[in-house]
Amino acid sequence: MPKLLRPLDVYRHLPGTNCGECGEVNCMAFAAKLIERQKGIEDCKPLFKPEYKAKLEKLLEVLRPPVKEVTIGVGDRAITVGGKVCVYRHELTWYRPTALFFDVDDEMPEDEAIKKVKYVEDFELERIGVKLKLNGIAVRCVSGSPEKFAKRVAKITEVSNLPLILCSYDPNVMEEALIVVGSKKPLIYAATKDNWSEMIKLASKYNCPLALSAPGDLSMLKSLAATARKAGLDDLILDPGTFVEGDSFAETINMFTMLRREAIEKEDKDVGYPLMGVPAAVWLSPEGDEVATKMKECYVANALITRFADLLVMHTIDIWALLPILVWRQNVYTDPRVPLSVKAGLYEIGLVDEKTPIFVTGNSALTYFLVRGDVEKSGKGYLICVDTEGISVESSVAGRRFTADKVVEALKEAGIENKVKHRTIIIPGKAARISGELEDLLQGWKVFVGPKESSGIPDFIEKVWSKEVKFE
Ligand code: SF4
Report which ligand 1 atom has the smallest distance to the Cα of 45: 1
Query: Is CATH 3.20.20.20 the right assignment for the domain spanning 70-332?
Result: yes
* pLDDT in the model for residue 25: 94
Q: Dump pLDDT digits (tens) for 201-210.
A: 999 999 999 9
Calculate the average pLDDT of the chain.
Answer: 94
- Mean pLDDT across the stretch 288-294? 91
Evaluate whether 111 touches 152 at the Cβ level (below 8 Å): no
Domain at 7-63: CATH code: 1.10.15.40
Nearest CA to ligand 1 atom 4: 19
Angle at CA of residue 171, ends 308 and 206, nearest 5° = 75
Distance 34 CA to ligand 1 centre (A): 11
| pLDDT tier at 1, thresholds 50, 70, 90 | very low
Is the pLDDT assigned to residue 125 strictly greater than 80?
A: yes
Q: 213: which residues sit within 8 A by CB, 6+ positions away?
A: 189, 190, 191, 192, 221, 239, 241
**pLDDT value for 3:** 59
Ligand 1 centroid to 23 CA: how many Å? 8
For atom 8 of ligand 1, which residue has the closest CA? 27
Ligand 1 site-directed mutation target among 18, 38, 55, 59, most atoms within 8 Å of CB: 18
In ligand 1, the atom with minimum distance to the C-alpha of 18 is 5
Q: Alpha helix (H) ranges present in 161-241?
A: 171-181, 196-206, 218-230
Percent of the chain with pLDDT over 90: 89
What's the CA gap between 302 and 316, in Å, rounded? 14
Could you give the C-alpha distances from 118 to 121, 165, 249, in angstroms and in order? 5, 16, 32
For every residue of 335-357, which 3-state class applies, written as one string? CCCCCCECCCEEEEECCCCCCCC
pLDDT at 105: 98
Handedness of CA 251, 254, 258, 259 (dihedral sign): positive
Q: Are strands 79-81 and 358-362 parallel, antiparallel or unpaired?
A: unpaired
Residue bearing the CA closest to ligand 1, atom 2: 44
Q: Helix 218-230 vs helix 196-206: angle between axes, to the nearest 10 degrees?
A: 40
- Mean of the pLDDT values across residues 88-99? 86
CB contact at 8 A, 77 and 101: no
The rounded distance, in Å, linking the Cα atoms of 82 and 275 is 8
pTM: 0.82
For 80, the 3-state DSSP assignment is strand
Instruction: Indicate the burial class of 88 (C-beta count within 10 angstroms; 0-12, 13-18, 19 or more).
Output: exposed
Distance 50 CA to ligand 1 centre (A): 15
Mutation test residue for ligand 1: of 11, 12, 21, 55, the one with most atoms within 8 Å of CB: 21
Query: Cα 453 from chain centroid?
Result: 27
Model confidence over 245-276: pLDDT tens digits? Answer: 888 999 999 999 999 999 999 999 999 999 99
Ligand 1 mutation pick, 8, 22, 25, 38, max ligand atoms within 8 A of CB = 22
Q: Which of 35-39, 93-97, 149-153 is the most confident on average?
A: 149-153
Close Cβ partners of 229 (under 8 Å, ≥ 6 residues apart): 236, 269, 270
Choose the weakest-confidence range: 314-318, 338-342, 350-354, 373-377: 338-342
Pocket of ligand 1 (CB under 6 A): 14-15, 17-22, 24, 26-27, 30, 44, 46-47
Q: Is the pLDDT of residue 10 over 70?
A: yes
Residue 199 — φ and ψ, nearest 5°? -70, -35
> What is residue 20's DSSP assignment?
-
130, containing H or E segment: strand 130-132
Within the chain, all domains assigned CATH 3.40.50.11600 are found at: 345-468
- List, for residues 433-463, the tens digit of each pLDDT value: 999 999 999 999 999 999 999 999 999 999 9
424, pLDDT greater than 50? yes
Distance 52 CA to ligand 1 centre (A): 12
10 Å CB burial of residue 8 (0-12, 13-18, 19+) is exposed
CA of 51 to the centre of ligand 1 (A): 14
Q: What's the rounded mean pLDDT across residues 95-100?
A: 95
The number of the ligand 1 atom at minimal distance from the alpha carbon of 20 is: 5
Class of residue 472 by CB neighbours under 10 A (exposed 0-12, middle 13-18, buried 19+): exposed
Which fold does the domain 345-468 belong to in CATH? Rossmann fold (3.40.50)
Strand pairing report for 276-277 and 311-314: parallel
